[in-house]
Amino acid sequence: MDELRVFTRRRMLGATGIGALSALVSQPVVSSAQTRAVQPGTTRLTQLLDMSPDQQELSRDYATGVRLAFAELRKTNSALPQLATVETDGTAASVRAAIQAVKSDPGQVALLGAAGEALALATVREAAQAQLEIAHVAPWLADPRYDQDRHLVALFASREEQMRQVLKGLATMGVSELGVVYPSPQHAEALQAGTAALTSRLQVRLRSLTVPAGQDIALFASRLKPDDPYFLVFMGGSIELAQFTRGLSQRGQQRYVICLADVDTTTFMQLGPGKKVPIVFTQVVPNPHSSKVPLVRAYRDALARLFDEAPSPISLAGYIAGRYAAAVLAGVEPNAGRARVLAEFQRRRPVQLDGWRVEFDDGGRGGSYVSQLLLNAQGVFIG
């Protein structure tokens, strides 16, 4: 059961305010890649996690779902490869060290569920540079630029698909420009190229707004200029979004905020966000609390038995990733090597997971599901 003991974020959130929480997560977790030991001589799937301050919340949540799936499935399939976890500190050096460690160990036959997106992008680049011939399955990656990479198996709706769904709802308002807010220069460096590539396809202007290094996010939000776009796509996580909305509220800034699937609404609301700021949340999985899809019910039941965690869209996505990986590996002989595992994932065959279908489109992505949830100016969720 030690493998199932993960950071219980929501318990911590209940005991801290946003300032205390920000101070807590600002402490470095690791300075280099660290690997959790597994039994020698066994094949394993390796999950890379980004434990840097602004990514560890999402990484731990996604890892919760992946581990949950494997804990359940190993009860009936002892031949399933073990799950190893490699923690990085988000720096290029630690990602490079992690990839080299994987490359030098033939027992690691696939990468599974790298989280979050900056890490997933760095992993794609570092693996290519290292000529690591290995499947990279279900990373938390909304950037569609690498969907046709023969090593990559992306499962959830791209950023473009998420933004298309939002723009459909905004079409009646005549929206022609969106502001894209990056909560740090590091976010901008990792995500800006992929976001900019969407401009022509979405037929909307995108204006970048980046919080300068070291500047408080709430202060930045309170100083938005009158001519800055009214509709803002926020490219950070729950903590940063809460700070941003606080800044908007302090000065009574009238803005409409759109955030993509990196934000968990439950966590966000526990962080004391700013009032009277309408927010659209996109999600790439069904509602983890209320969906009647059998797969989601199985997730809720397993989560209640094994973890001190409330359901969340991100951990549900991790659970789907784990279930999908296991379903594909069921068609591979036990202890198969990297080449055989990669070949099986490259088939990209449709998979049914208890009422949830993974099916790849011509672009190479295995999912396009997007739902929206509106938090209106009165603080009420709609949708």
3-state helix, strand and coil shares in percent for the chain, rounded to the nearest 5: 40, 15, 40
Tokens 């990792």 belong to residue: 190
Provide, rounded to the nearest whole percent, the portion of the chain with pLDDT above 70.
89
- What pLDDT sits at residue 41? 53
> Which has more confidence, 251 or 133?
133
Q: Which pLDDT belongs to residue 42?
A: 80
What are the strands of the beta sheet with 177-182, ordered from one edge?
A: 205-210, 177-182, 231-234, 256-259, 279-283, 371-375, 381-382
Task: Assign 78 a pLDDT band (cuts: 50, 70, 90).
Answer: confident
Dihedrals phi, psi of 250, to nearest 5 degrees: -60, -40
Question: What does the pLDDT average to over 195-200?
Answer: 80
**What's the CATH code, domain 2-156+290-358?**
3.40.50.2300
How many Cβ atoms are within 10 Å of 196's Cβ, its own excluded? 12
Q: How far apart are CA 264 and CA 153, in angstroms?
A: 23
Q: Are strands 351-353 and 356-358 parallel, antiparallel or unpaired?
A: antiparallel
Residue 309, C-beta contacts closer than 8 angstroms, at least 6 positions apart:
6, 8, 9, 10, 64, 303, 315
Percentage of the chain modeled with pLDDT above 90: 73
Give Cα 178 to chain centroid, integer Å: 22
- pLDDT confidence tier of residue 40, bands split at 50, 70 and 90: very low
Give the tokens for residue 255: 């803005």
Which residues touch 327 (CB under 8 Å, ≥6 apart)? 351, 353
Q: What is the pLDDT of residue 34?
A: 52
CA dist 354 and 323 (Å) reads: 10
E strand or H helix that includes residue 240 = helix 238-250
Which residues, 6+ apart, have CB-to-CB distance to 70 below 8 Å?
A: 80, 83, 322, 326
Q: Is 91 exposed, middle or buried (0-12, 13-18, 19+ CB in 10 A)?
A: middle
Nearest to 326 by CA among 358, 363, 361, 285: 358
Q: What is the mean pLDDT of residues 57-63?
A: 93
pLDDT band with cut points at 50, 70 and 90 for residue 4: very low
172, pLDDT greater than 90:
no
Residue 168 has pLDDT above 80, yes or no: yes
Average pLDDT of the residues of the chain: 87
How much is the average pLDDT of 42-69?
92
CB 56 within 8 A of CB 50: yes
Task: Look at 249 and 32; give whichever has higher pLDDT.
Answer: 249
pLDDT band at 197 (very low <50, low <70, confident <90, very high): confident
Provide the token pair at 246: 């606080």
Helix (H) or strand (E) holding 294, with range, is: helix 294-306
The DSSP string of 118-146 is HHHHHHHHHHHHTT---EEES-S---GGG
How far apart are the C-alpha atoms of 160 and 52, rounded to whole Å? Answer: 26
Q: Among 71-75, 118-122, 306-310, name the most confident range.
A: 118-122
Strand, coil or helix: 83: strand
Token pair for 23: 């101070």
Q: pTM for the whole thing?
A: 0.88
Q: What pLDDT is recorded for position 193?
A: 87
Q: Which residues partner with 375 through β-bridges?
A: 279, 381
Tens of pLDDT, residue by residue over 298-344, are 999 999 999 888 999 999 999 999 999 999 999 999 889 999 999 99
Tokens of 27: 């402490």
Could you state, in order of their start, the residue ranges of all structural domains in the chain? Answer: 2-156+290-358, 159-283
Mean pLDDT value across residues 150-162:
95
Q: How many whole angstroms separate alpha carbon 185 and alpha carbon 202?
A: 24
Question: How many other C-beta atoms lie within 10 A of the C-beta of residue 160?
Answer: 19
For residue 348, give every residue at least 6 positions away whose Cβ sits within 8 Å of its Cβ, in sequence order, or none: 153, 360, 364, 366
β-pairing verdict for 44-50 and 135-137: unpaired
138 sits in the region (left: phi over 0; alpha: psi -120 to 50; else beta) called left
- CA 169 vs CA 162, 205, 373, 383: distances in Å: 11, 17, 12, 12
Q: Which CATH class is domain 159-283?
A: alpha beta
Q: What is the pLDDT of residue 309?
A: 86
When pLDDT is averaged across residues 4-21 and rounded to a whole number, the result is 38
**CATH topology agreement for domains 2-156+290-358 and 159-283:** yes
